[in-house]
Structures are given as C-alpha cells and as structure tokens.
C-alpha cells in the first residue's frame, strides 16, 4: 500500500537506486527542517535559494533534458516573475492582492512571450534557436534596465510584503527549538510548499504521455514526426510550460528577497549556473535538479569559508596556503565541476542509477547460474 502511494506521488518515477533514494530523502528532510537544523540568516537564505533553483533548473531541464531544446531565454521568464511581484508591490502596496495581481500578470506575459518565441523560433534548428533566444534575453535585460520608472533601472526595486510575511511579525513570544516563529519563517515554508508541489507537478508532466512524446522528439525528431506527432506543437507546449514554471520560480525569489533588479534575476550568470546544475545533477531527470542545486549552491556559498579554514591551517606551507586562498574559490569551484563531469558524465543521478542497474543485472545473472 505504501509503495503504491509513493508510486502515485512520484508519478511511477522511483529513484531506482538505494543511494539516490537516501540522498533525496536527506535533501527533503534537510530543506523541510533547515530553519531548525541550520540556524542563522545565511543558512536560511541558502536553503531558500536552493528551493528557488530546484524549480528553475527542473523547468529548464524540461526543455534541455527531455525535449532537447537549448534556450538562453529562460532567465528572461525568471525575471518576469520576479519583476511582476516587485512592480505590483511597489505601485499598489504591500497587500496579498498586489502579490496576486503581480503573479497573474507575470504569468500572462510569460505565456504570451513564450508562445510567440515558440511559434516563430522553434521551427529553426538547434544553434539558430539558441542564438535567437540569447538575443531576446539580452534585449529584455536592456529594456528592464532602461525602463527605470517601472523597474528601478540598475538599482532595482525594494518593496514590502504583507504584514503576515514580515520578519517583524511574531506568532509566539517563545521560540521553538531556538528559532523565532515569525513572518520570515512562514515565508520560507510557503516557498518550501510551492517548490515541493511544482517538483511533483514536473515529475507528473515528464512521466505522462506528453512527456514520453517529448523524449521521443529528443531522441529522433524525424521519426516522431513520421509516426504522426506534430513536433512543432509539442516543442512549443514544452517551451510554454517550462517558461511558466520559471516565472513562478522568479516570483518565489522576489518574495524571499523583497527586492529585484537586473543582476538578481536577469543576469546571464544565472543562466550559466542553471546549465552547470543541470549537468552536475543529470540531464533528463527531474531528480537531478534537486541534487545538482544542493551540491552547486552549497559549494558556491560555503567554499570560500572552507578555503579560508584550510588556508589558515596550512600557514606553515606558504605555497599551499596561497593556493588555498579564499580569493581562488572560483578556481576550485571550476575544478570541482570538471571532476564531477569527468567522474559523473551522466550526472550524479544518472551515475547512481547506472550503478544500481549494473548491480541488479549482476545479481540477476548470478541467480540464474545453475
């Protein structure tokens, strides 16, 4: 009964690896109890950013890993969601109605733009579509910087949230396990719930008949067209769905930060981070988004601190201490990425699943030997 229920929740896409199941369970519990396990402002901010990037990366993997589409406009839809919340809150006040209005309008704009890009651009081949989306994303970033009356320009927009989500709102005078029960904590669990629901929704999408067709298009577009599937329609729907999820992720980021600017949600660096996370976690698997986001963002956030400790501990060897300087954290992050790609060419999730499949095949072959 429990296995059947778990199958339904995970859309019949079980981890298929004991180690992967344990890793995903650790991530789920770690994020669920992050405010209590990892106290501190920085740790909570990292956990919230992980929640946002799980949704953003999983939505991008719907394009890249499941449909085989390379798009550089994904952060544009991410930024639309963030700007929708920010602009509505600044111009109409810190109310729930403002959040709802900004959210709905950003979803509508995302729907129209993604549909237009899909219809006009998805008929072109791989590299040309990638260049078109890159040009559109760059144009949108420039537009957001220049429309300072609405977007705040390069300075961005700071705004207030409804009082219930404000850190100054306390639900109890007594802390729970040393953690204050305030609006900031409520905001975090709203993000956690939204991320979990969207993660399960994306699992359902990729494991539905629609998702199977997307994978068929990725493997052989001409064969999928030959057996009767309208490839352009499916690719366009995939692009629209992916953009809508990215828009929601952007709204989540704006709500957590209570700020948005071009560098916060439209930067090309964010697109590069998304690509790196997809490769680290494993393309073509929603689970890879969760694993990759945790590994990458934790390394990005704490690698400098670890290098500082290592550098201080190796003061007796000046050359080693200089090599482990916190200023060289990007070098070490790049090295970690190269090693992860070398040892996990199909990503962490792909490698764990292949190990489990090999072990099961070996065990089955041994059991069949008379």
- What are 313-362's pLDDT values in tens digits? 888 888 878 888 888 878 888 888 888 878 888 889 989 998 888 888 88
At 3 the pLDDT is 67
**Nearest alpha carbon to residue 143 among 159, 154, 130:** 154
Return d(Cα 153, Cα 145) in angstroms, integer: 4
Cα torsion angle, 307, 308, 310, 311, sign: positive
* Residue 232 reports pLDDT greater than 90: no
At 247 the pLDDT is 96
For 163-218, the three-class secondary structure string (H helix, E strand, C coil) is: HHHCCCCECCCCCECCECCEHHHHHHHHHHHHHHHHHHHHHHHHCCHHHHHHHHHH
The torsion angles phi and psi of 158, rounded to 5 degrees, stand at: -105, 140
What is the token pair recorded at 65? 């890993």
- For 260, 276, 305, the CA distances from 347, given in Å and listed in that order, are 32, 10, 26
76-135 pLDDT, tens digit each = 999 999 999 999 999 988 889 999 999 999 999 999 999 988 777 666 666 777 888 888
Please state the separation of Cα 368 from the chain's center in Å: 43
With a pLDDT cut of 90, the percent of the chain lying above it is 42
Return d(Cα 290, Cα 268) in angstroms, integer: 21
At 117 the pLDDT is 84
What is the token pair recorded at 353? 């699943």
Residue with tokens 């052989």: 220
Of the listed ranges 16-30, 253-267, 296-310, 313-327, the one predicted with least confidence: 313-327
Determine the angle formed by the axes of helices 286-313 and 268-281, rounding to 10 degrees.
100
> 38: pLDDT confidence band, cut at 50, 70 and 90?
confident
At 370 the pLDDT is 59
At 203 the pLDDT is 93
Beta carbons of 140 and 76 less than 8 angstroms apart: yes
Beta carbons of 18 and 360 less than 8 angstroms apart: no
Within 8 A by CB and 6+ apart from 242, the residues are 59, 60, 62, 63, 71, 74, 114
Return d(Cα 143, Cα 156) in angstroms, integer: 13
Beta carbons of 51 and 191 less than 8 angstroms apart: yes
At 89 the pLDDT is 93
At 286 the pLDDT is 92
Beta carbons of 290 and 281 less than 8 angstroms apart: yes
Please state the separation of Cα 103 from the chain's center in Å: 18
At 68 the pLDDT is 84
Of the listed ranges 204-213, 236-245, 306-315, the one predicted with least confidence: 306-315
Of the listed ranges 111-115, 122-126, 148-152, 176-180, the one predicted with least confidence: 122-126
> 230: pLDDT confidence band, cut at 50, 70 and 90?
confident
**Rounded mean pLDDT, 234-246:** 92
Of the listed ranges 119-128, 150-159, 216-225, 261-270, the one predicted with least confidence: 119-128
The domains found in the chain, sorted by start residue, are 16-33+41-368 (1.10.3470)
Return d(Cα 270, Cα 276) in angstroms, integer: 10
At 121 the pLDDT is 63
* Residue 35 reports pLDDT greater than 70: yes
């Amino acid at each position: 009964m429990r296995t059947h229920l778990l199958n339904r929740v995970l859309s019949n896409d079980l981890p298929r690896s004991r180690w992967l199941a344990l890793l995903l369970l650790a991530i789920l519990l770690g994020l669920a109890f992050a405010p209590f396990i990892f106290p501190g402002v920085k740790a909570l901010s990292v956990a919230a950013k992980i929640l946002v990037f799980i949704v953003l990366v999983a939505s991008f993997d719907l394009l890249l890993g499941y449909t085989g589409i390379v798009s550089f406009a994904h952060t544009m839809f991410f930024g639309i969601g963030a700007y929708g919340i920010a602009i509505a809150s600044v111009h109409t006040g810190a109310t729930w109605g403002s959040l709802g209005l900004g959210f709905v309008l950003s979803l509508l704009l995302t729907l129209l733009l993604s549909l237009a890009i899909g219809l006009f651009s998805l008929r072109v081949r791989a590299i040309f579509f990638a260049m078109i989306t890159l040009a559109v994303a760059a144009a949108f970033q420039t537009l957001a910087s220049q429309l300072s009356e609405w977007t705040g320009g390069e300075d961005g927009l700071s705004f207030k949230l409804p009082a219930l989500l404000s850190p100054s709102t306390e639900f109890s005078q007594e802390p729970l396990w040393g953690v204050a029960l305030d609006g900031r904590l409520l905001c975090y669990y709203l993000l956690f719930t939204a991320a979990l629901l969207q993660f399960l929704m994306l699992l359902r999408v990729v494991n539905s008949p629609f998702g199977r067709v997307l994978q068929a298009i990725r493997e052989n577009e001409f064969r999928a067209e030959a057996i009767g599937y309208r490839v352009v329609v499916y690719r366009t729907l995939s692009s629209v769905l992916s953009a809508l999820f990215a828009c929601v992720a952007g709204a989540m980021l704006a709500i957590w930060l209570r700020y948005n600017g071009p560098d916060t949600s439209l930067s090309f660096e964010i697109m590069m981070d998304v690509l790196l996370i997809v490769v680290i976690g494993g393309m073509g698997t929603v689970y890879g988004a969760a694993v990759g986001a945790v590994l990458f963002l934790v390394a990005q956030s704490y690698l400098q601190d670890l290098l500082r400790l290592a550098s201080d501990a190796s003061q007796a060897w000046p050359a080693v201490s200089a090599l482990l300087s916190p200023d060289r954290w990007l070098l070490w992050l790049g090295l970690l990425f190269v090693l992860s790609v070398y040892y996990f060419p199909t990503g962490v999730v792909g490698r764990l699943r292949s190990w489990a499949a090999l072990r099961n095949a070996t065990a089955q072959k041994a059991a069949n030997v008379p």
